[in-house]
Structure 1
Amino acid sequence: MIGDRTVMQEALFYSFRIEDHVPEDHLLRVIDRFVDLDGIREYLKPFYSSTGRPSIDPELMIRMLIIGYCMGIRSERRLCEEVHLNLAYRWFCRLDLDGSVPDHSTFSKNRHGPFRDCDLLRKLFEMTVERCMAEGLVGAEGFAVDASLIRADVHRQRSVPGAEGLPPDAAGRAVTEYLEVLDDAAFGGATPVTPKRLNITDPAARWTAASRERAFYSYSTNYLIDLDHAVIVDVEATTSIRQAEVLAQRRMIERTLERFGLWPEKLVADAAYGSAPNLGWLVEDQGIEPHIPVFDKSARKDDTFERSDFTFVHDDDSYICPGGNRLRPSNRNFKTPRPRANADGFIRYRASQKDCQSCHLKQRCTPNMTARKIMRSIHEGARDMARDIATTDAYLVSRRQRKKVEMLFAHLKRILKLDRLRLRGPNGAKDEFHLAAAAQNIRKLAKMKPSPELATA
């Protein structure tokens, strides 16, 4: 027997609680235990006027942004629609059925106003790190670092050759921010090399062909994570080149010590961070074990002797070649002392021309030059330490642990949908990366520390 037609009848009064309609295992109910924004209003108070109309509650906007980045809602216009319709979203934002949702334009006004003036989104991210530390998820015995390319919100064809520079009519907030960071070592000052292409819409975005796809404009998000539970302890936005990413690693390690008092015993990274100056900074200046492949181009393809075939004698500061002759930094004395190392931090060890000419191994050593020379970095001790660590079992464990940061990038792009930026300019990239990292930490807390009711179930 078919049932009667259902007809909606408006009632004069309803007995309704949003609390009763949000499931216990809903993601937002789980993460709500770790979202403590009581100090946000006091933190923002100096950046708001004491007169005029009351502003939209900043805690409401932050909760809405957390929903957007945790649930992969990239558009703020759509976010406002979803919060208006979804009961769980209203519950998380502390809105009743009659509570009005702010207009999407409110986010832009606050982002370019008080939020950016006080670096609120950075503060929000650091609050998630502090909560992870309080819950015992950060061990600080080892950190891992890496960077990932995120597409910029620009059109490929709106660009000019880098040698031409920006056209005179280029204008906009992203252009202004680009001009402000021309000397910043994480952006314009990262390298003196002129970029191949310069985008007119967002000039700070870097034209890159580092991936298997065709070249595109991008920014780099840099993660420093704790190896215990893959908690993101710091995040930095940079231009998409190796020099800027290495600098971001140094900034994040120093900032983590200053802000949270965390100092790792070891750092795990790929070969992009294995340059001699960076290994020297880690070992000699910071006392951190580098579980990093050494960036080394001393290998030869013509079957002649490589640098590894020469033995370095520390006491005599010289190399001994396979033929038994010595290579020294200088084979004669100069009236005016010359610097041992060149501008790149390398010392040139030369063999005597007489020794090489009479050596029976000359054709296998230096067939095209009168005497053999070896380049040694002033940080070679740190490089040797990294090579020694690479032969241990602990290094094999570190290589497997490094995949944790790669998994975070995969989660960032596939689950949180941040494979392309929505905001433009260096500040826009920083805002998005801070919010995304905060969302990942909050989701990590919800996963590692479930509520007692769910744990019992």
Structure 2
Amino acid sequence: MTGQRSGDQERLFYAFNLDDHVPKGHLLRGIDHFFDAGDLRKHMASFYSHTGRPSVDPELMIRKLIVGYCFGIRSERRLCEAVHLDLAYRWFCRLGLEDAVPVHSTFSENRHGRFRDSDMLRHVFESVVRCCMNESLVGGEGFAIDASVMKADADRTRGMAGTETIDWNRGEGPSRAVREYLATLNENDTDAWAVEAWQEPATQPKNISLTDPAARWTAALGGPAFYVNSINYLIDLHAGIIMDVEATPAYRIQEVDSTRSMIDRVEQRFRLKPQRVVGDTAYGAASMLAWMINDKAIEPHVPVWDKGTRADETFSNSDFQWLEQSNEYRCPAGHALRSERRLFKNPRAHIAKANTVYRSSQLDCAGCVLKDQCCPNTPKRKIARSVHEFARDKARAIAKTPVYRQSRKDRKKVEILFAHLKRVMKLDRLRLRGPSGAHDEFLSAATAQNLR
């Protein structure tokens, strides 16, 4: 028999419990069980006035933010609509059926104001990491480090050549993203680095965005060039928990340098220092290896960045024997390569760009039968030995161990997190601009990934 809805007047009173309508296996139930925002109000107390109308609860704003990043809701307007309509979202945000959802403008105002000024997103991220540590999800023995580029919220057609002079004060004046860029311009000066062979030269950017000048112009993914920022993750290898995150321009120098600040910050905040750090070749520069070994007592499970291997079938640097006592190399023919061949009245260091250069004698090379295999295009052979060669040698020795081979497999965990971030959580393009915008988005995304 066909059913028919009665035309009686609807009930005036309902006994409705939101908790009964959220599935037991819902993702937000698991997150709510572990997420504790009890100290948020205390952390934010100094950023609110003691008088006037009560503000929106900061815990509500953070819970909405977690919902957005966990379920890939990138628009703040759409997030407010989703929380208004979805019962599970309302339940997680501690909102009843009749409670009003703060409008998107209020949400944006707090997110770009009080939350950023108080560094609350960093506070929430670290509280989640501590929760993971309490649940024994952090081993602390091995960390992995890697970086990935993220498209910036900048139109690739709205830019100018890096060689042109840009008047940032035109129109209504510089935007927040431009002000941040100008304020940090001196801090991001790569001339302050001791440039090694692997490092990029401190050149003028090819193209500068007018909306987000801190973003870097790149064609790293093989397609048309666009503006990007870099997201850097430091993860624990036990369960893939993100221990720290850093936003940097898409320069290899600054990506690698972020490793130092993240490892130091984890040690300071959580009293945790790994025994080994796993990374790709970008982190295998001599200075970085020396910092890990000498300064931090950490084993670098990183391929050594080595320019001494040749592909033209001539002798590589590894074919030369290093003699520590006599401070010289010996070539396959038995001739010596030295940093100096005569005594100077004023001793010279013979160090150029953190390398000591060892040269053979031109007379030895001229009559050598192996010259065509050694230096066919130059009158003599030279080898640049890093001042941190001891650290490079130790890293090469580590690379021959079974633990290192396992570390190479474990490093995929950080790459999986980047894939999850872009494909599942839909964070393939930033919505906030400037260094602080990238910092906020990356911290929020890393918090959501740890909670998931």
Q: After TM superposition, is the score higher than 0.5?
A: yes
Deviation at 1:335, TM superposition (A): 1.5
From 292, 298, 314, the equivalent of 1:304 is 314
Name stretches of at least 5 consecutive residues in structure 1 with no aligned partner.
444-457
Partners of 1:10 and 1:196 in 2: CA distance: 67
CA shift in 2, pair 1:132/1:28, >3 Å: same
TM value normalised by structure 1: 0.94
> Do structure 1's residue 393 and structure 2's residue 402 form an aligned pair?
yes
Partners of 1:44 and 1:413 in 2: CA distance: 31
CA shift in 2, pair 1:220/1:189, >3 Å: farther
Aligned residues: 442
CA shift in 2, pair 1:7/1:352, >3 Å: farther
1:234-268 CA-partner distances (Å, limit 9, x unpaired): 00000011101101111100111001011011010
Higher deviation after alignment, 20-29 or 382-391: 382-391
From 417, 420, 434, the equivalent of 1:425 is 434
- Among all aligned residue pairs of Structure 1 and Structure 2, give the percentage whose two residues are the same amino acid: 56
Deviation at 1:354, TM superposition (A): 2.1
Instruction: Read off the aligned partner of 1:133 and give its amino acid letter.
Output: M
Partners of 1:216 and 1:262 in 2: CA distance: 38
Aligned to 1:455: none
Deviation at 1:178, TM superposition (A): 0.7
1:307-356 CA-partner distances (Å, limit 9, x unpaired): 111000111111000110111111111122222311x2111001122222
Deviation at 1:181, TM superposition (A): 1.2
Deviation at 1:5, TM superposition (A): 4.0
CA shift in 2, pair 1:141/1:7, >3 Å: farther
CA shift in 2, pair 1:391/1:365, >3 Å: same
Partners of 1:9 and 1:382 in 2: CA distance: 82
CA shift in 2, pair 1:37/1:423, >3 Å: same
Deviation at 1:189, TM superposition (A): 7.3
Partners of 1:8 and 1:48 in 2: CA distance: 50
Instruction: Read off the aligned partner of 2:147 and give its amino acid letter.
Output: A
Deviation at 1:188, TM superposition (A): 10
State the secondary structure of the residue aligned to 1:163: coil
State the secondary structure of the residue aligned to 2:347: coil
From 377, 380, 383, the equivalent of 1:371 is 380
Decide whether the 8 Å contact of 1:146 with 1:269 is kept in 2.
yes
Name stretches of at least 5 consecutive residues in structure 2 with no aligned partner.
194-200
Instruction: Read off the aligned partner of 2:18 and give its amino acid letter.
Output: I
> Do structure 1's residue 175 and structure 2's residue 178 form an aligned pair?
yes
Decide whether the 8 Å contact of 1:320 with 1:326 is kept in 2.
yes
Deviation at 1:367, TM superposition (A): 2.3
Aligned to 2:237: 227
State the secondary structure of the residue aligned to 1:164: coil
Decide whether the 8 Å contact of 1:270 with 1:292 is kept in 2.
yes
Partners of 1:206 and 1:239 in 2: CA distance: 6
Partners of 2:110 and 2:191 in 1: CA distance: 27
Partners of 1:288 and 1:140 in 2: CA distance: 12
Instruction: Read off the aligned partner of 2:44 and give its amino acid letter.
Output: L
Aligned to 2:447: 438
Decide whether the 8 Å contact of 1:186 with 1:247 is kept in 2.
no
Decide whether the 8 Å contact of 1:186 with 1:239 is kept in 2.
no
Higher deviation after alignment, 417-426 or 290-299: 290-299
Q: CA RMSD in A?
A: 1.6
Deviation at 1:274, TM superposition (A): 0.9
Instruction: Read off the aligned partner of 1:340 and give its amino acid letter.
Output: H
Instruction: Read off the aligned partner of 1:363 and give its amino acid letter.
Output: D
Instruction: Read off the aligned partner of 1:358 and give its amino acid letter.
Output: G
1:158-216 CA-partner distances (Å, limit 9, x unpaired): 00001114334262111111111112249997863111100000000111111122211
